[in-house]
Structure 1
Amino acid sequence: MSDMDMDKRGPEGYEGGEGCLTTVIRIPVRIVVLLVVVPVRMVWDVLGVCGRFLDRVLLRPLGRALGWVGDTLLVPVGRAVAWLARGLVRYAVVVPAVFVYRWVLAPVGRGIAWLGRGLAGAVVWMVTTLIVTPLAWLFRTVLRPLGRGAGLVLWAVFVWPWAALYRWVLTPLYVHVLTPLGHGALWLGKAVVRVLVVVPAVFVYRWVLRPVGRGLVAVGREIVAAAEVAWRVAGYVSRAVGRALKWLAWNLLGRPAAWFYRTVCVPVGHAVRDHVWRPARKAAAEAGRAAKAALVSAGEAVRRARRDAWRALVGGAPARQPLEPSPVPARTLGSTTTAPGAAPAPEISLRKRG
């Protein structure tokens, strides 16, 4: 439903026209609300952008780091502490407590309970025999007959005269005198309240409060509608301002930075990578391999000298010389066999050459 259709409907449950009050206050209210809401909406959008930036740049990496710390350090430490605490509680508290309860407190408690049952039985028997039985006999034979006689005397002296007075005097007086007077006074009070309270209250409600309330409802409804429209308009304005600021920032900062990166940083980086970093890395690798080979040769020479010195001191078989790598046997001309010292023959036959 469009705003025009909503405006035509008027108040809830009222299908007629809106009235002059709504038409008069609508435009000023919307202008004032728009001027108030636009800065609020722009501040709201700026805070939202800042919050998303902080979430993406700071909060998420921080949360991942904290999660890694918790999973890597805190959880194992907590488990170890919990396991140690369970062990300490079990062997320092639970096991001694169970032992004390099972072998000390439980036997002592059973003995105390048995002794208490015996003492309680003896006390109950003594109280029943010495106190309860005599009191019960005294109540049955003396106190109950005396109480019944005193009750009859009190009824005849006090209760019966008051009952007769209530039945033959007070009840007719209430029914035939006080009740009609009460009905008349009640009717008179209702009439007075109606004339002095109800009628003025109805007049004030009908001709003062209800029109004022309708006006306030119309004003409130217009303020709410104006706030909704102003919030949407403020959103459009805020997005337009944001696009303008983004375009300005890109043309003032982003585009020169991108041009500088493409035209200066990338060629310089490639030149440094091709002419400095790669030769340096290659030279470092060659130096490392040469140093490793030198260390291996020096270690082998030290071991050989140590063995020769040991054999020279204690005697023994001469040191075995390391085997020289045999040359690769070459093929002779016109033959498939190989002979040591012969020059390597070509792989293609002379016949095929001709």
Structure 2
Amino acid sequence: MDLDKPPAPPPHSAGPPAGQSVGQADGCLVVAIRLPVRIVALVLVLPVRMAWDALVAVGRFLTGTVLTPLGRALLWAARAVLVRPLVALWRHVVVPLAKALGWLGYMLTVVPLGRLYRYVLTPAGHGVAWLARRVGAGLRWLYARVLTPAGRGVAWLLRGAGLLLAAVGLGLYTVCAWLARYLVVVPARWLYTWVLAPAGRALAWFVGAVITGIGAVLYWTARVLLVLPALALYRWVLVPVGRVVAVVAREVGAALGHAWRVAGRIALVVGRFLGTLFRWTFRWFLVEPSRWVYRTVLTPVGHFVRDAVLRPAAEVARAVGRSVRQVLAAARETVRQTRADIRRALFGEARREPVGRGTRTLDRSTTALTKD
């Protein structure tokens, strides 16, 4: 007895079997077409992809540095030039003018028309309605007392004449129907049943047989002359040519996609190299010299200007400010004393209530324990 397990079968893979390469799986024609087409596609697509990536980078740079600020500036200018004047015109000119015109139209149109309706048209309408009711009552009396009896008499006469005419017409219709049945319908039915129907069936059978024979002859003629050559052309010429064209088109599309991806990788590497070169160039030719100038030249000069010019000027300005405030305070006090002297000269001293010793103040107590 064999107790060992049998080896597991290898898993099914989507690739070609062992000992067979991808080119052998795809065929010699595919292998012969793929490599030249990919090389040509890479040579043709690489400049296009690099130009496209350069345009994208330039567009992003222009959008972030030029177009967006320009659009914001234009938006602010449009708001300042158009929107705000229009809003102010609407708020301060159009709305008050419309309210004034509405009030004027109300006073010139609605009020006069309301008074005309209330004091002229309403009484006139009541009078016309009263007159119409009177006329309607007279017409109802005329209809009930005169027209209704006359109409009933005329209707009775017409009813009798109608019954007489109906009896005469019914008799004439019966006679005409009997004559038409036995002189026209019965002979026509016999002629259709025994003459026209058999002749029509025979003619239809003959015509059907002729048309069937002609159709069979035309069918086989078209099949031999058109269908079989077209089928042979499609099967032995168009199908192989179409397969070759499909393989070429598929390989060209795959080569273009592969070349586009490879060109993207190359363009990315070139772009990163150029970006790094630009950053280093910008740093060592502009940033570092500017930083050195700022640290070694501008900072000492700024400190000297601050210590030698700005701080003394600030001290002088603060001293001048204190002097000016003192002068203004003295001037206000002088003006206040002058006004008080003029008031005393014109109106005399103001009378005040005498303050006694027992008056209770904040700094003096009048209680029994703390009394002075």
TM-score by length of 2: 0.57
Distance 1:186 1:270 in 2: 108
Q: How does 1:120-269 map to 2 (within 5 A)?
A: 145=173, 166-175=196-205, 177-269=206-298
1:26-41 correspondence to structure 2 within 5 Å: 26-41=34-49
Q: CA deviation at 1:98?
A: 11
Q: Deviation of residue 32 (structure 1)? A: 1.5
Answering whether residue 64 of structure 2 is matched by residue 56 of structure 1, we say yes
Which letter maps to 2:28?
A: C
**Separation (CA, whole Å) in 2 of partners of 1:139 and 1:98:** 68
Unaligned runs of 5+ in 1: 11-15, 112-117, 119-128, 319-354
Relative to structure 1, the CA distance from residue 274 to residue 173 in structure 2 (aligned partners, 3 Å threshold; closer, same or farther) is same
- Structure 2 match to 1:288: 317
The runs of 5 or more residues in structure 2 that have no matched partner are: 1-14, 130-135, 137-154, 350-372
How far did 1:226 drift?
Answer: 0.4
Deviations 1:144-180 (A, max 9, x none): 95997998677678898567654121122213x1222
Alignment-mate amino acid for residue 53 of structure 2: D
Deviates more, 1:267-276 or 1:305-314: 305-314
Q: Which moved more, 1:212-221 or 1:279-288?
A: 279-288
Distance in structure 1 (CA, Å) of the matches to 2:221 and 2:212: 14
- Structure 1 residues 37 and 145, CA, compared in 2 at 3 Å: closer, same or farther? farther
Residues 148 and 41 (structure 1 numbering): CA distance in 2 closer, same or farther, change over 3 Å? farther
Number of aligned positions between the proteins: 277
Separation of aligned partners in 2, 1:193 and 1:315: 139
CA distance in 1, matches of 2:334, 2:242: 115
Partner Cα separation in structure 2 for residue 22 and residue 256 of structure 1: 54
1:302 Cα deviation after fit:
2.2
Which moves more between the two structures, 64-73 or 48-57? 64-73
Q: 1:42 aligns with which of 50, 53, 71?
A: 50
What is the letter of the counterpart of residue 31 of structure 1? I
Q: Which amino acid aligns with 1:201?
A: A
Partner of 1:335 in structure 2?
none
Greater C-alpha radius of gyration: 2
Q: CA deviation at 1:181?
A: 2.1
Residue 248 of structure 1, CA deviation? 3.1
Amino acid at match of 2:55: L
Query: In structure 1, how many angstroms separate the alpha carbons of the residues matched to 2:87 and 2:189?
Result: 82
Q: Calculate percent identity across the aligned residue pairs.
A: 31
Aligned position for 2:26 = 18
Write out per-residue CA displacement over residues 51-96 of structure 1, whole angstroms, 9 at most, x where no aligned residue: 22223223444566677789999599769959977x969x959x98
- Going from structure 1 to structure 2, the CA distance change for 1:298 and 1:258 (only over 3 Å counts) comes to same
Q: Name the CA distance, whole Å, in 1 between partners of 2:236 and 2:46.
A: 39
* Distance 1:163-1:42 versus aligned 2 partners, 3 A rule: farther
Q: Distance in 2 between matches of 1:196 and 1:98?
A: 93
Distance 2:35 2:75 in 1: 55
Change (3 A) 1:213 1:313: same
Deviation string, structure 1 residues 226-274 (Cα, Å, up to 9, x no partner): 0111012111221222233224323443322222023222332322332
RMSD: 5.2
Between the two structures, name the one with larger relative contact order (CA 8 Å, sep ≥ 6).
2
Q: What whole-Å deviation, never above 9, does each CA across 1:104-145 have from its counterpart, x for those lacking one?
A: 9xx99xx9xxxxxx9xxxxxxxxxx9xxx9xx9999986995
Q: Give distance in 1, aligned partners of 2:250 and 2:299.
A: 67
In structure 1, C-alpha distance between the alignment counterparts of 2:334 and 2:246, rounded to whole Å: 110
Distance in 1 between the 2:180 and 2:312 partners?
128
Letter in 2 for 1:32: V
Aligned counterparts, 1:267-286, within 5 A: 267-277=296-306, 280-286=309-315
